Amino acid sequence: MFNVTDLLPFTAYSFRVFSVNRVGRSEPSEPSYPMVTHREHPSGKPTVIQTLSPGPDAIEVVWRPPDASTMNGEFIGHVISYRPRDPDCRMEQDRPVGQR
């Protein structure tokens, strides 16, 4: 048994094995059935590009999604939340406004 480490999350791998002795090395085995590593939380984050206020009661946020290589699984969506900048404001903190 051998433990393979430092693999990337949500990535397919197959393995081949060969033997070595004083005479030399064998031919490699047939590739194993592909295995996929577990998913992980995204390691990247979206980047806010621009914020606009089209009216007195709205804010428009333009963002760029994280790089696909940092998703570490299937893309499900974004959760947008906000909170007042003034800590004395009586709004609920980190209010999610939607998932997409």
Question: How would residue 97 be classed by pLDDT, with cut points 50, 70 and 90?
Answer: low
Q: Where are the domains of the chain?
A: 47-99
Rg (CA), the chain: 24
Across the range 74-89, mean pLDDT stands at 81
Buried b (16+ CB within 10 A) or exposed e, 61-97: eeeeebeeeebbeeeeeeeeeeeeeeeeeeeeeeeee
Contact between 39 and 46 (Cβ < 8 Å): no
- Residue pLDDT, tens place only, 13-56: 999 999 999 999 999 999 999 999 999 999 999 999 999 999 98
Give the predicted TM-score (pTM) of the model.
Answer: 0.62
Q: Token digits for 68? A: 């696909």
Across the range 82-97, mean pLDDT stands at 67
What was the pLDDT predicted at 81? Answer: 83
Q: Which helix (H) or strand (E) holds 79?
A: strand 79-82
